[in-house]
Amino acid sequence: LDRSSAASDVYKRQGLTVSALGLGTVKIGRDKGVKYPNSFTIPDDRAVTELLAQAQDLGINLIDTAPAYGHSEQRLGQLMSQRQDWVIVTKVGEEFDNNSGDSHFDFSPEHVRFSVERSLQRLNTDYLDCVLIHSDGNDLAIIEKGTLDALNDLKKAGLIRATGMSTKTVAGGIASLNHADMAMVTYNLHQQDEAPVIEHAAARQKGILIKKAFASGHLNDTLDDPVQESLDQILGIAGVSSIIAGTINPAHLQENVAKARQACKMAAQ
C-alpha cells in the first residue's frame, strides 16, 4: 500500500514511511458526541486486536488517535503489538470527558508537555511519530500562542519525530505547514475548500494527512461507488501523503484497502 509520490518522501526524510491509507480510531474509544450517521457499539478488545492485525496484514502502518478519542490511546497502548512497525499519530489540545461526553481545550505550552507525556505513557512507548494540535477552529490564534513551538521543542528533545496541526481553516493549514512538518485537513467529495493547503504542502514538500475522506460516513448514495470515487479523487492529488479513514468494520477495512490500491495504481499511470 505504499505510494511512491513526493508526498510520501516527506515522511521518508524523517525516517517515516506511511501507507496511503491510515486507520482512524475515534470509534474504538468514544461513542459520545460523534456525528456518524449510524449508532455503533465500541468494539471489544478481541475485535480491536483483530482489526489492528488485519490492518497490518493489508499493508497499513499508519494509525491516528488522540486524547479526545475517549479510551482510544489507552486501548492502542494495550492492544497494539509490534509498536515499532506502526507510525503513530496523536494530538494535543482537546480534552474529552468520557463521563459527561463534553470536550474542552487547552493549548498552553504546559498542557502540551503534560499531554505528550501522558500519550507516551498511554500508548506504552518512548517516542511518538507525529503529534498534531487538535484545533478548536481558531487555528491562527493557537499558533500565535506558541503551541506549535512547544511541540517543536519536544521534537528537538527527541520525544516526537514530526509535528503539525489538524486544522479547520486554509490560513491555519498554511501556517501549520510554515511552522511544522505537516497538516491534517478535511477533504472529501462534498468539502474541498481546504485544497489550497494541500497545494501549499506539495510546493514545499510538507506532509498532508486527510481526515473525513468519507465525509464521516455520510457517503453520497446517488453515486455508484462513493468509496472508490472518494479514494480515486483524493489519492489522485499529488500533495496528499495519506488518508486517515475511520472504520471498525473488517469488511469495510478490506474494501477500503483494495480500493485505495486501485486508486494508487490509477494515480501512478
Site string for ligand NAP, 33-72 (x = CB under 6 A): ---x---------------------------x--------
Q: Would you say 54 or 216 has its CB closer to ligand NAP?
A: 216
Among 19-27, 76-84, 115-123, 148-156, which window interacts with ligand NAP (CB under 6 A)?
A: 19-27
CB proximity list for 229: less than 8 A, separation 6 or greater = 189, 223
Query: Residues 6 or more apart from 25 whose CB is under 8 A from it?
Result: 63, 64, 65, 69, 72, 76, 246
Scanning residues 90 to 149, which ones bind ligand NAP (CB under 6 A)?
134
State which residue has the least CB distance to ligand NAP.
Answer: 24
SS3 assignment, position 55 = helix
The answer to whether 213 contacts ligand NAP (rule: CB under 6 A) is yes
CA dist 147 and 141 (Å) reads: 10
CA atoms of 32 and 96, how far apart (whole Å): 10
Is there a catalytic annotation at residue 69? yes
Among 24, 70, 77, 173, binds ligand NAP (CB under 6 A): 24
Cα 216 to Cα 50, 83, 210, distances in angstroms? 22, 27, 12
Rounded least distance, CB 135 to ligand NAP, Å: 7
What x/- string results for residues 192 through 211 when contact with ligand NAP is judged by CB under 6 A?
A: -------------------x
In order of 2, 5, 261, the CA distances from 265 in angstroms are 10, 12, 6
Which is closer to ligand NAP, CB of 20 or CB of 248? 248
In the bound complex, what is the minimum distance in angstroms from residue 171's beta carbon to ligand NAP?
17
Other CB atoms within a 10 A radius of the CB of residue 123 amount to: 24
Minimum distance, C-beta of residue 161 to ligand NAP, in the bound complex (Å): 18
| Contact pattern from residue 237 through residue 266 relative to ligand NAP, giving x for each residue in contact according to CB under 6 A and a dash for the rest | -------xxxxxx--x--xx----------
Which one is catalytic: 11, 69, 127, 187? 69
20 scored as a contact of ligand NAP (CB under 6 A): no
How many residues touch ligand NAP (CB under 6 A)?
Answer: 27
- Any idea of the CA torsion for 181, 186, 188, 190, to the nearest 10 degrees? -150
What are the DSSP calls for 162-208, one per residue?
EEEEE-SSHHHHHHHHHHSSEEEEE--SS--TTHHHHHHHHHHT-EE
CB-nearer residue toward ligand NAP: 64 or 139: 64
Q: Distance (Å, rounded) from C-alpha 184 to C-alpha 152?
A: 17
Alpha-carbon distance of 137 to 54, in angstroms, equals: 34
Catalytic residues: 69
Binding residues for ligand NAP, per CB under 6 A?
24-27, 36, 64, 134, 166, 184, 211-217, 219, 227, 244-249, 252, 255-256
